[in-house]
């Protein structure tokens, strides 16, 4: 199975609650554990401006490229602006396009970045600058590789950008399972939102996820699923209030693939802010391992 990664995925944030060094550390962990080999990693090309413009406003794109965002717009992003940030998010969008295309060929693929589900067409927020998953869906639809897509968002935070972007689009079904009393406020409705109470543990979470996946897939049959596999439902996460264990998160990942059955799944890693960085890295690496179980090796 192919793993999409670039050393330039690092958002160049310095000391920040979003540990963007996690992308490199996840790659290193997979290599150290023997879960991946060097040849499994594919370097993405940045998304083209045309790809980005299928989702984002031209004015916003130009502000990002020229460094002319207002101070208020930068504060809203909650990450410091830099040329390295811009390069990273264009690459992450290209990585999600590639993950989608490869998943269609081998049933599963993982972008070791991406999942920036709080980005809106005209602004960034919540550490998210460009909505890579939306960009990927629009590019794959433009290429006629897919007609329909589903987003399965298991980040602890609701994907408000995803819900907004696809709110009037019958070709994309948005499913999100998240902590209700957590960012963002307000939460624009998706096609199916599962709002969880604080402190939910493995069994209750997995039961709610199973019901939500069953309902979503009964209503909608996508050509491709984008799985936003946030690490932040973990019980030691600094920005989450759910209480999933490491094993519970592995069971979550496996459930998404089991329910998908014959539908290809492209994975993005999204958020993760555990008190110990190595816990976030381990959760992300476990997600990649599960995806590999469901990939078709004969079409690499």
Q: CB-based contacts of 203: which residues, under 8 Å, 6+ apart? A: none
Q: Which helix (H) or strand (E) holds 227?
A: strand 224-228
Determine phi and psi for 108, rounding to 5 degrees: -155, 145
Q: Report how far Cα 52 is from the mean position of its chain's Cα atoms.
A: 16
Contact 160, 139 (CB under 8 A): no
Instruction: Give the chain's length.
Output: 300
Marked catalytic residue, from 16, 57, 117, 118: 118
Tell me if residue 118 is catalytic.
yes
Rg of the chain (C-alpha set): 17
* Contact indicator for 9, 110 with CB cutoff of 8 Å: no
Which residues are the active-site residues? Answer: 118
């Amino acid at each position: 199975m192919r793993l999409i990664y670039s050393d330039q995925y690092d958002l160049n944030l310095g000391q920040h609650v979003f540990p963007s060094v996690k992308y490199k550390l996840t790659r290193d962990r997979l290599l150290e554990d023997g879960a991946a080999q060097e040849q499994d990693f594919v370097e993405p090309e940045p998304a083209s401006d045309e790809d980005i413009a299928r989702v984002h406003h031209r004015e916003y794109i130009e502000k990002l490229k020229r460094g002319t965002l207002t101070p208020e717009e930068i504060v809203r992003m909650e990450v410091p602006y830099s040329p390295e940030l811009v390069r990273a998010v264009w690459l992450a969008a290209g990585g999600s396009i590639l993950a989608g295309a490869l998943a269609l060929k081998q049933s599963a693929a993982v972008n070791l970045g991406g999942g920036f589900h709080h980005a809106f067409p005209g602004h960034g927020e919540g550490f998210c600058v460009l909505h890579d998953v939306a960009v990927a869906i629009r590019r794959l639809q433009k290429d006629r590789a897919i007609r329909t897509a589903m987003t399965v968002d298991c980040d602890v935070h609701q994907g408000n950008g995803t819900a907004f972007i696809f709110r009037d689009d019958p070709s994309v079904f948005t499913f999100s399972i998240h902590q209700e009393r957590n960012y963002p406020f307000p939460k624009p409705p998706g096609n199916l939102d599962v709002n969880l109470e604080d402190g939910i543990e493995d069994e209750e979470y997995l039961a709610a996820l199973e019901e939500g996946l069953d309902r979503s897939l009964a209503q909608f049959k996508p050509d491709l699923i984008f799985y936003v596999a946030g690490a932040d439902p973990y019980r030691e996460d600094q920005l989450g209030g759910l209480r999933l264990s490491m094993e519970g998160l592995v069971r979550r990942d496996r459930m998404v693939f089991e329910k998908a059955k014959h539908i290809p799944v492209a994975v993005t890693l999204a958020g993760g802010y555990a008190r110990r960085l190595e816990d976030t890295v381990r959760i992300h690496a476990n997600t990649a391992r599960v995806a590999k179980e469901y990939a078709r090796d004969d079409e690499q």
